[in-house]
Structures are given as C-alpha cells and as structure tokens.
C-alpha cells in the first residue's frame, strides 16, 4: 500500500478502517503512519491522526517507542484539533508510561480548562485525568472541581462524560 496516497484519497471511516487493517500489528507499518502523522503536510497529518488512534486502540504496544515524539508534538502551537483529539483519545484506553504521567496530566488539565478547546478534546482529557487519578488520588478534588464548574455551561456530550467520570472518581480510594 502506498500509505500517503491512501491517506489523501479520502477521509472516511471506511478509509480509516482500511489503513488500520493494513497496519495491523506491524510496528514497521505503524512507524510509517506515525511519521506521516508527525511530519507531513497539514492535510496528511490531519487525516493520519484518526487511523493512528485506532491502531493504538487495537495494538497499544505500537505507540510504546513514540511517547516522546507524541508529547513533543502536543506541545506545538496551533495544532489542528484532529491531532489533539486523536492523540488524547488514544491515551484514554491504554496504560500510560509512568515517566510521562506528569506531562500528560498537565496537558489534559490545560485542555480541560481551556474555553477554546473542542468538546472532544475536553472529554478525552477528562477521561485520561480520571484514569491517572488511580495513581494520584490528590488530583481527584481538582478534577471534580473543574468538571462541576463547567457542567452548567457545557453540552450534553460533556455532561454525559462528566457523569461517568465523577462516578469513576467516587469509586476510587483516597481523597
């Protein structure tokens, strides 16, 4: 498969699925996709973001060697929403490497608190922080406060995720 051509061909769920199936569990193919996600032109980066997150959902080990690059990329100014959304999305369902917990937490709190951030980035950030609260119970009160502060002014999607996260937090030991 000529990956870059396939990414540019169309932006659809079917195309995303085709790319994810092609990558499978191949580290080499994932590395090729991840390189396009980080380093190509705007449209390729934007379109590669979706299959990157789905590949990690299916095979979390594929992202293992790319954490530093991923975190460095998330610190760039003016990132496209698709890059932020899919980068944070892939973090919500996997075990995060401990050396990056602090950076991930800071980034997700920043996204969650930002009035300019998209709904998807906020809800994925909320879930990532809640997952980290298992290891850092001291962040539970701050997360709860931010969620409750934003709740009255947010969409149904935010409220739905917030209820799940608050329930998850209430089951955790600690503060």
| C-alpha to C-alpha distance for 27 and 21, rounded to whole angstroms | 13
Residues in contact with 47: Cβ distance below 8 Å, sequence separation at least 6, in sequence order: 7, 8, 11, 82
Does residue 90 lie within any of the structural domains? no
Residue pair 72/100 in contact by the 8 Å Cβ criterion? no
Contact 20, 60 (CB under 8 A): no
Q: Per-residue pLDDT tens for 131-152?
A: 999 999 999 999 999 999 999 9
Which residues, including other chains, have CB under 8 Å from residue 68's CB and lie 6 or more apart? none
Establish if 9 belongs to a structural domain. Answer: yes
Query: Residue 139 is part of which domain span?
Result: 96-175
> What pLDDT score was predicted for residue 175?
57
Answer whether residue 43 is part of any domain. Answer: yes
Where on the phi/psi map is residue 76: left (φ > 0), alpha (ψ -120 to 50), or beta? Answer: beta
- The model's pLDDT over 59-88, given as tens digits with 9 standing for 90+, comes to 999 999 999 999 999 999 989 999 999 999
Q: Is 8 part of any domain?
A: yes
At 172 the pLDDT is: 87
Sequence-separated (6 or more) residues with CB below 8 Å from residue 25: 58, 59, 62
- 142, with CB counted inside 10 A (0-12, 13-18, 19+), is middle
Same domain? 65 vs 100 = no
pLDDT of residue 150: 94
Direct distance between the N- and C-terminal alpha carbons of the chain, in angstroms, rounded to an integer: 51
Using CA atoms, how far apart are residues 173 and 175, in angstroms rounded to an integer? 7
Q: Which residues of the chain have pLDDT under 50?
A: none
In a domain, 80, yes or no: no
Judge if 13 and 66 occupy the same domain: yes
pLDDT of the residue at 40? 87
Say if residue 6 is in the same domain as residue 54. yes
């Amino acid at each position: 498969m000529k990956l870059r051509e396939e990414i540019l061909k169309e932006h659809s769920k079917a195309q995303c699925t085709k790319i994810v199936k092609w990558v499978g569990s191949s580290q080499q193919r994932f590395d090729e996709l991840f390189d396009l996600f980080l380093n190509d032109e705007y449209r390729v980066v934007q379109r590669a973001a979706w299959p990157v997150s789905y590949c990690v959902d299916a095979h979390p080990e594929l992202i293992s060697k790319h954490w530093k690059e991923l975190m460095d990329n998330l610190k760039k100014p003016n990132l496209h929403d698709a890059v932020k959304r899919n980068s944070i999305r892939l973090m919500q369902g996997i075990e995060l490497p401990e050396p990056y917990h602090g950076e991930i937490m800071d980034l997700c709190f920043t996204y969650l608190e930002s009035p300019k951030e998209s709904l998807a980035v906020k809800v994925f950030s909320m879930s990532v922080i809640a997952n980290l609260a298992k290891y850092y119970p001291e962040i539970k009160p701050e997360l709860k406060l931010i969620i409750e502060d934003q709740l009255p002014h947010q969409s149904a999607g935010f409220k739905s995720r917030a209820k799940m996260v608050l329930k998850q937090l209430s089951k955790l030991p600690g503060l």
